[in-house]
A and B are shown apart, each in its own frame.
Chain A
Amino acid sequence: MASITVPHGHTEHKDYIHEADGIWSWLTTLDHKRIGLMYMVTTMIFFAAGGFFALALRLEHWTPTQTIMTAGTYNKYFTLHGAIMVFLFIIPSIPAALGNFMLPLMIGAKDVAFPRLNLASYYIFLAGAGLALYAIVFGEGVDTGWTFYTPYSIKTGSSVVLVVSGVFLAGFSSIFTGLNFIATIHKLRAPGMTFHRMPLFVWATYATSILQVMATPVIGITMVLLAMERFLHIGIFDAKLGGDPVLFQHFFWFYSHPAVYIMILPGMGIISELIPVFARKPIFGYRAIAYSSLAIAAISFLVWGHHMFVSGQSDFANIVFSLLTVLVAVPTAIKIFNWTATLYKGNIKLDTPMLYALGFIFLFSIGGLTGLFLAALSVDVHLTETYFVVAHFHYVMMGGTVMAMLGGFHYWWPKIFGKMYPEMISRVGWFFVFMGFNTIFLPQFWMGAHGMPRRYYNYPPQFQLAHQISTVGSWIILIGFLIHTFALLWSLKYGAKAPNNPWGGKTLEWTVESPPTMHNFHEQPVVTAFPYEYKSERV
């Protein structure tokens, strides 16, 4: 981004990592970059934990009956895999980690609007996670699935209340972060940065924040009602007491469907940053991409019922939700076409972040197209509650969000740590992740279409080969993640020192030091142009 910065004579400022020493300086920091980094480390630990459960589940499915664990353990493991990945990893990962770090830098601010609230959000998140972990380690665990459907979640003996309290608390962290970002984007943009000069990652974060603030209270209330049902038998969800178990599903998905977009929108934001930088072209259709984020956010509130086509809700509701659901595919398709068109007549460099961006477009397209199968009423009746759904949302959440996150990590790694990661090793890591991912989940579409139900400990023997291919995929992707982990950690000690702007980016974070100083900008930057102003150049 073009900006006018008055040259500053001296550079004795230390970077944010070395500004203060000692663990206490981290635990009490109000700096958005440090808080972002703490989120990054925390959510990566949860990603590893959720991944461990996934690997164990895949191994269990090597044979159609018991392989390594009992049915009870299996049920707890798939619940923990889902709950950890959704509530403790994927929802906070991009917004709270990369968003916290990059948002103020990208809009030319010193920090977020409410730094103390930002730190409090982190501790609330830790408290929520702690409650859930306590239930897992010292309690009975939880075996309801991450969806906590009633009345099973009312009847089961596992530690449901502790875990839903954890979700409740973590939800407040999400709400506060959303509030903070909305205020930051509205009030702290640098002079000259109009809304239409904001980087698209900021737009995506803005749409995400609105969803977080508006949707998350619903899951909070739902979790409280579930806990009250278990303790006080108030009879809202329990059919035996005159309650309606399907009502829980409405409440749950009223949050959890927008939450799907809380998970994917920031990923789309990252892709919108990566593509123009590595193609040396202005993003194609900036406004279409920016507004489609808001359109997705708005429509996402109106489609929750598509999770419930066979739940017993009315046929009329099914029809309306099906219609609204096919509409949400339109702004998503627009983004895919715009990203692809940006590559046209560019000057493309295939570094790891770009490999992830291209991988994202491919995998997310599969996720989106298979979503169409599930939006069509008659086909959904056959496919819902099978592995087809499992494969579909993994293509969206993992093929989409996780790939975007990994692209973002590699893209901003030089900025965050001031070190270059080893490019060739990371490309190899990408290859394993991409191949492993498809090996895991492509067979699952086939399985689901042929009737393999979800959450099955024992399964019909005709699915064994497909399950085994899928399990082998989980080992391939593990190799990819290990390579990435090794390469990134290696770079912290041995990586080449990163210049301020290793990729030739035009957004404001690339105008400051790598890593940035505590106050980000030495002088107030003034924005005079669009963030992807890549002029025509001779190759």
Chain B
Amino acid sequence: MLKRLGILGVLNVLGANAYASMINLPQASEMAARVDSLYDFLFWLSVVALTGTTIALLLFVKKYHRSQKGRETAYILGSHTLEITWTVIPLLIMLFVFAWGYKDYVFSRLDPPGAVEVNVVGRQWLWNFEYPNGRKTMNEFYLPKGKPVKLILTSEDVIHSFFLPNMRTKTDVVPGMYVYLAFTPTLVGDHPVYCSMYCGTGHSDMLATLHVLEPADYETWLQTGKAPGIVPAAFHGSEGDAKPLSQAEKGAAVAASKGCIACHTADGTKKIGPSWKGIYGTEEALEGGGKAKVDENYIRESIMTPTAKIVKGFPPSMPPFAGLLNDEEVNALIAYIKSLK
């Protein structure tokens, strides 16, 4: 079995791609296949080196163990020949590995002319996307298959990292500077985005989804904001479903896809912001005195301009969602919050 995998591994290294890579993830960009090839080469190199060393260790321990009588130990201080051999061979292998990694890295850093450009802004704990035609999205974004794309990224607060495992690429997203990621998506479908640089309480909830579409579908989405053929996590693509979602169910989907749940819970647990459970209809004490009744207008204001009224005991850390959520989505959210009794 191992031997078979080994031969196939060599084939894969040679570009034959004869077997599944050791990284069992979709290869959603050209870069992904390149990274996997080097990864697999290193994997099998490591297996061979480790097996060799371990066999030598175990063999020596067995053969030269104290219980093996009737022999003489050797007095050996070293060997220049061996010393040079095991300096030069690893050196050559390492330089080879460096060169391979270098070659693919340079490929991944090429700035393709005519790429689809998308601006990405990270902030605790969500991702905003802005397209050249002015379309904005949050935590979900869309790219066409087969066309080079260039994401231009920055952060509003602390360092985040934009990690696309299916594309085998990532970059830290640093406040005060622009960085870019360039790749060509090759696989239609949904691909996860993780924030991989620790950024505080909501770090592991700072997730996004990349929807790779056929170029024609992408154009449709770019013009209309609706993507045919796929049902994104947010509800606005769900009209074609057999059973329409209730308002509250849509709201739950919005809360998940727009990152609300990084700070607000539905079960009464306090996170960064107040929990939504049973909050509708109550009176909240505010920072700086005063009270506010939690009704439709209050919720809408708290979403669009969160700093207008800060609930006592919570930091003023929520970003404004004005322009990022449409009326339909806000209505659904309000219905969802109402339903959490």
Contacts and interface: CB of A to CB of B under 8 A. Distances in A.
Given A373-B39, A375-B98, A377-B102, A536 B158 contact: no
Interface stretch (B173-181, B234-242, B275-283, B329-337): B173-181
A44 B70 CA distance: 44
Interface in A278-328: 279-282, 284-288, 310-312, 315, 318-319, 322-323, 326-327
Interface string A244-258: 111000000000000
Contact of B104 (A279, A378, A539): A378
A347 B63 CA distance: 9
15 contacts: A151-B158, A285-B77, A310-B161, A312-B179, A323-B98, A340-B57, A344-B76, A346-B74, A349-B65, A365-B49, A378-B34, A378-B104, A451-B192, A459-B204, A536-B74
Contact of A358 (B23, B49, B57, B108): B57
A323 B97 CA distance: 9
A71 B159 contact: no
Contacts of A244: 176
A358 B25 CA distance: 35
Contacts of B198: 75, 145, 149, 152, 454-455
Contact of A344 (B53, B74, B163, B168): B74
Given A149-B198, A319-B102, A326-B94, A457 B204 contact: yes
A378 B108 CA distance: 8
A451 B194 contact: yes
A379 B35 contact: yes
Given A322-B98, A366-B50, A453-B195, A340 B56 contact: yes
Contact of B192 (A340, A346, A460): A460
B8 to A, nearest CB: 18
A239 interface: yes
Contacts of B103: 378
Given A330-B87, A365-B50, A369-B46, A453 B196 contact: yes
B137 interface: no
Q: Which of A319, A336, A346, A370 has the most CB of B within 10 A?
A: A346
A379 to B, nearest CB: 5
B169 A372 contact: no
Interface of A: 70-72, 75, 143, 145, 149, 151-152, 155-156, 239-240, 243-246, 279-282, 284-288, 310-312, 315, 318-319, 322-323, 326-327, 329-330, 333-334, 336-338, 340-341, 343-350, 358, 361-362, 365-366, 369-370, 372-373, 375-382, 384-386, 449-451, 453-460, 534-539
Nearest to B155: A239
Interface residues of B, number: 87
Interface in B88-115: 90-91, 94-95, 97-98, 100-109
Given A72-B201, A378-B34, A282 B76 contact: yes
Nearest to B94: A326
Contacts of B169: 381-382
Interface stretch (B11-19, B78-86, B250-258, B299-307): B78-86
